[in-house]
Amino acid sequence: QKEVEQDPGPLSVPEGAIVSLNCTYSNSAFQYFMWYRQYSRKGPELLMYTYSSGNKEDGRFTAQVDKSSKYISLFIRDSQPSDSATYLCAIGYGQNFVFGPGTRLSVLP
Partner 1 sequence: NAGVTQTPKFQVLKTGQSMTLQCAQDMNHNSMYWYRQDPGMGLRLIYYSASEGTTDKGEVPNGYNVSRLNKREFSLRLESAAPSQTSVYFCASSSSGGGGTQYFGPGTRLLVL
Interacting residues with partner 1 (CB under 8 A): 4, 6, 8, 31-32, 34, 36, 41-46, 49, 51, 88, 90, 92, 94-95, 97, 99-102
Q: Measured from the CB of residue 22, what is the shortest distance to partner 1 in angstroms? A: 15
| C-beta of 42 vs 77, nearer to partner 1 | 42
Residue 32 or 61 having the CB closest to partner 1: 32
Distance (Å, rounded) from C-alpha 25 to C-alpha 42? 26
Query: Measured between alpha carbons, how far is 92 from 106 in angstroms, rounded to an integer?
Result: 27
Nearest to 47 by CA among 35, 58, 55: 35
- CB 55 within 8 Å of CB 48: no
Min dist CB 94 to partner 1, Å, is 5
- Give the residue with the Cβ less far from partner 1, 21 or 34: 34
Shortest Å, Cβ 19 to partner 1: 20
**Rounded Cα–Cα distance for residues 79 and 17 (Å):** 5
